[in-house]
């Protein structure tokens, strides 16, 4: 497996400040079919349905999407379920289909159950995308991907192994069992650990949903069940602070090491006190911006190029026409030294 470049981000600061918000007003949704509305010069409406509304990660994506809407002159709609529930998410998707939005972007909790709804949307002429989490066996036209699967999985493993000295036992506290992106990263971590770190062993993978308290409880149980455990990975933005909190509560800072995929400010206390060694992420607001931009491109009948200049901060964004994946870029390593450069 080829090693993907990981960028340290001491000099990188986000351009926008996160605004935590609820559901965006839907009053500007398009009234005709998305194709005819765009052709007639009507205002483009791009809707984004995250896995879960209200957590810092997806609120940061929302902030990026709103900024794109301002720049592009489109309407941005944002609503997700209040729990990481596939059925509740499906109800929101159905609502946007009924509104006949121009483009529909989904980060599916369950890609398989979401696929028929995405087809329903496409059959109505709505441009269908996924972002953050893919539904590869669906009719989605583009997956707006935050970073490569290999890049994220390998970076998580390398950062943890650096802290653990390249050996020992570790466990993963993931979130949704059916989340395609999380499962893909875990598959990379398993293979990469076996090939590069033969003295390290992944002993267990557990699933806490999108619940930080549950992640803390499960991490505590893992440490109790495996007294020789020296590493924990929080595979999503709720479990990353959860596993660090468990180590802190157990008084095992410096004995059990953690990393994960946490938003900067949620991880800042843990990075600074040593209960977490690093957070692997990407510019989440830029991901939201890119998703909104892509929705607008498709809704106006444009074709993505192999390399796309989106704005001053997003230049040369690569698109693979074979897989229909638009790649934001390389993952970022967030540490105690650069965490305060991020505003969310």
- Quick: pLDDT tens for 188-213: 999 999 999 999 999 999 999 989 99
Same domain, yes or no: 155 and 267:
yes
Q: Is residue 243 part of a domain?
A: yes
> H or E segment at 219?
helix 212-225
Residue 316, both tokens: 């040369």
Give the span between the Cα atoms of 81 and 99, in whole angstroms. 18
223, 255, 281 - which closes a domain: 281
Clarify whether residues 136 and 168 are in a common domain: no
Share of the chain above pLDDT 70, in %: 88
Would you say residue 105 lies in a domain? yes
How close are the terminal C-alpha atoms of the chain, in Å?
Answer: 33
CATH code, domain carrying 302: 3.40.50.2300
pLDDT of residue 17 exceeding 60: no
Is-contact 335 271, C-beta < 8 A?
A: yes
Q: Please, how many CA atoms are within 13 Å of residue 151, restricted to the half-sphere of its CB?
A: 18
Return the residue matching tokens 């369950």.
Answer: 110
**Total structural domains within the chain:** 2
| Judgement on whether residues 210 and 302 belong to the same structural domain of the protein | no
Q: Are 307 and 19 in contact (CB under 8 A)?
A: no
- pLDDT value of residue 42: 74
pLDDT computed for residue 151 by the predictor: 95
Length of the chain measured in residues: 344
In the predicted model, is pLDDT for residue 9 greater than 50?
Answer: no
On average, the pLDDT of the chain sits at: 89
**Residue 246, domain member (yes or no):** yes
**Dihedral (Cα; 310, 52, 148, 126), 10-degree rounding:** -50
User: Based on the domain organization, do 323 and 192 belong to the same domain?
Assistant: no
Q: What residues make up the domain containing 186?
A: 149-281
Is residue 31 over pLDDT 50?
A: no
**In-domain check, residue 129:** yes
Q: How many other C-beta atoms lie within 10 A of the C-beta of residue 315?
A: 10
Mean pLDDT over 162-179 rounds to 97
Q: In this structure, are residues 241 and 235 in contact, taking their beta carbons and an 8 Å threshold? A: no
Give the model's pLDDT for residue 340.
95
276 pLDDT above the threshold of 50? yes
Is 343 part of any domain? no
More reliable by pLDDT, 35 or 255: 255
One domain, residues 193 and 228? yes
The token pair at 104 is: 């529909």
Is residue 41 pLDDT above 90, yes or no?
Answer: no
Domain check: are 252 and 268 in the same one?
A: yes
Most confident of 4-18, 34-48, 203-217: 203-217
Q: Is the pLDDT of residue 64 over 70?
A: yes
Whose structure tokens read 């607008």? 296
How open is the CA angle 343-108-157, to the nearest 5 degrees? 60
**Separation CA 220–CA 226 (nearest Å):** 10
Dist CA 256 CA 82 (whole Å): 32
What is the sign of the dihedral through the CA atoms of 62, 64, 70 and 73?
negative
One domain, residues 25 and 126: yes
Q: Are residues 220 and 193 located together in one domain of the fold?
A: yes
Domain identity same for 287 and 276: no
Rg of the Cα trace of the chain? 20
Flag whether 96 is in a domain: yes
Backbone torsions φ then ψ of 13, nearest 5 degrees: -125, 145
Structural domain contains residue 2: no
Q: Per-residue pLDDT for 107 more than 60? A: yes
Query: What is the rounded average pLDDT of the residues 123-149?
Result: 97
Tell whether 125 and 51 lie within a shared domain: yes
Same domain (yes/no): 116, 163? no
The pLDDT of 265-271, averaged and rounded, is 97
Residues 242 and 255 in one domain: yes
- Selection from 9, 24, 7, 6 nearest residue 288 by Cα: 24
Residue 288 lies in a domain: yes
- As a whole-number percent, the residues of the chain with pLDDT over 90 amount to 85
CA 321 remoteness from chain centre: 21
């Amino acid at each position: 497996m080829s090693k993907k470049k990981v960028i340290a981000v001491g000099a990188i600061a986000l351009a926008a400040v996160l605004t935590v918000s609820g559901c965006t007003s839907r009053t500007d949704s398009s009234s005709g079919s998305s194709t005819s509305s765009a052709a007639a010069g009507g205002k483009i409406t791009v809707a984004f349905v995250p896995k879960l509304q209200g957590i810092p990660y997806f609120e940061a994506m929302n902030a990026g999407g709103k900024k794109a809407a301002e720049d592009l002159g489109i309407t941005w709609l944002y609503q997700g379920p209040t729990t990481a529930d596939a059925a509740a998410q499906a109800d929101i998707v159905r609502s946007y289909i009924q509104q006949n939005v121009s483009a529909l972007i989904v980060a599916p909790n369950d890609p398989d159950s979401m696929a028929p709804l995405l087809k329903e949307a496409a059959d109505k002429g709505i441009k269908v995308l996924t972002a953050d989490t893919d539904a590869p066996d669906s009719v989605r036209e583009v997956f707006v991907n935050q970073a490569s699967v290999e890049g994220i999985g390998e970076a998580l493993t390398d950062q943890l192994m650096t802290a653990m000295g390249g050996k020992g036992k570790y466990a993963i506290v993931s979130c949704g069992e059916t989340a395609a992106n999380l499962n893909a990263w875990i598959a990379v971590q398993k293979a990469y650990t076996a090939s590069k770190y033969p003295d390290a062993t992944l002993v267990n993978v557990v699933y806490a949903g999108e619940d930080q308290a549950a992640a803390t409880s499960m991490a505590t149980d893992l440490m109790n069940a495996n007294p020789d455990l020296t590493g924990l990975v929080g595979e999503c933005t709720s479990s990353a602070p959860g596993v660090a909190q468990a180590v802190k509560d157990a008084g095992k800072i410096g004995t059990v090491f953690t990393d994960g995929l946490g938003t900067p400010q949620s991880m800042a206390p843990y990075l600074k006190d040593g209960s977490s060694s690093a957070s692997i992420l990407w510019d989440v607001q830029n991901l939201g911006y890119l998703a909104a931009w892509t929705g607008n491109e498709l809704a106006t009948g444009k074709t993505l190029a192999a390399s796309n200049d989106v704005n001053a901060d997003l230049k040369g964004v690569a698109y693979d026409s074979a897989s229909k994946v638009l790649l934001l870029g390389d993952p970022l390593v967030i540490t105690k030294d650069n965490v305060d450069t991020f505003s969310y």
